[in-house]
Amino acid sequence: MIYLKTQEEIVKMQAACDLVSRTLGEVAKWVAPGVTTRKLDDIAREYMLDNGGRPACLGYGGFPATLCIEVNETVVHGFPSGYELRDGDIVGIDTVVELDGYNGDSCYTFEVGEVEAATRELLAATRQSLLKGIEKARQGNRIGDISYAVQSYCEARGYSVVREMCGHGIGRSMHEDPEVPNYGRRSTGPLLRNGMCIAIEPMITLGKRHIVIEKDGWQCRTRDRKPSAHFEHTIAINGDNPLVLTTFDYINQSLNSKSN
């Protein structure tokens, strides 16, 4: 069942998405060598609660934390821990906040210190593929148009698309219909209609596309242990002009003031 949101609901989605974006902006200030991923989780949880939000991942299907932490070969759904970030790591930070009954979902993959050029290029391409997908998120197109745009952009550059994990509809629930795969064929899948809210989240790897899910049922890594990148925005279908409800602006501000 796909729920189309009213204008009033889109306003609430926008507020939840702004809070999740600001949370990632706050976390961005702390990403550095030597910081534990558990510390980042504490920062995010406190920020959400201080701003009237509910950390929606915490307890979701038994998930143990506010943030999904994706260091290097971790693709998705990693747990915060005592691990201290190291120079040269990449860390994807994926989280959802619920505010006033609606959910905002976003993910950004950070560089920790100096990262190898090939990995930096993977991050740039994954981020660009998200924009390519968003560009196709227009009324009258189909989910497959988004999927194809992401896949073709990444595979043309020699990267692999994780297939087992997808984007999704989002609203009152974190995960709603439809699924939004990062691979697929044009003009296939559910029709995009005004008021649909979806999270687009390419998970793209430097090596092969195969993944392993740990025995805990959550933590997911590349089989070949090559790096994996992940960026995510929550958007609303709005004619030819998708509303990008989440933003990386707060992250960019934090990163810029760190480097000054």
Task: Among 31, 43, 57, 149, indicate the residue that binds ligand MF3 (CB under 6 A).
Answer: 57
Phi and psi, residue 102, nearest 5°: -125, 155
Residue 97 binds ligand MF3, judged by CB under 6 A: no
Toward ligand MF3, which CB reaches closer, 107 or 149? 107
Taking only Cα atoms into account, the Rg of the chain, rounded to an integer number of angstroms, comes to 17
Task: Supply the minimum distance, in Å, between the C-beta of residue 158 and ligand MF3.
Answer: 25
Task: Supply the minimum distance, in Å, between the C-beta of residue 33 and ligand MF3.
Answer: 25
Residue 203 binds ligand MF3, judged by CB under 6 A: no
| End-to-end Cα, the chain, rounded Å | 48
Interacting residues with ligand MF3 between 4 and 33 (CB under 6 A): none
Residue 105 binds ligand MF3, judged by CB under 6 A: yes
- Please, are residues 235 and 201 in contact by the beta-carbon 8 Å criterion? no
Q: Pairing between strand 203-205 and 197-200?
A: unpaired
Q: Tokens for 180? A: 């939004």
Toward Co ion, which CB reaches closer, 115 or 174? 174
Sheet holding 228-230, edge to edge: 160-161, 203-205, 228-230
Task: Supply the minimum distance, in Å, between the C-beta of residue 34 and ligand MF3.
Answer: 25
Distance between CA atoms of 32 and 257, rounded to whole angstroms? 14
Task: Among 96, 154, 162, 200, indicate the residue that binds ligand MF3 (CB under 6 A).
Answer: 96
Which one of Co ion, ligand MF3, none interacts with residue 99, CB within 5 to 8 A by kind? none
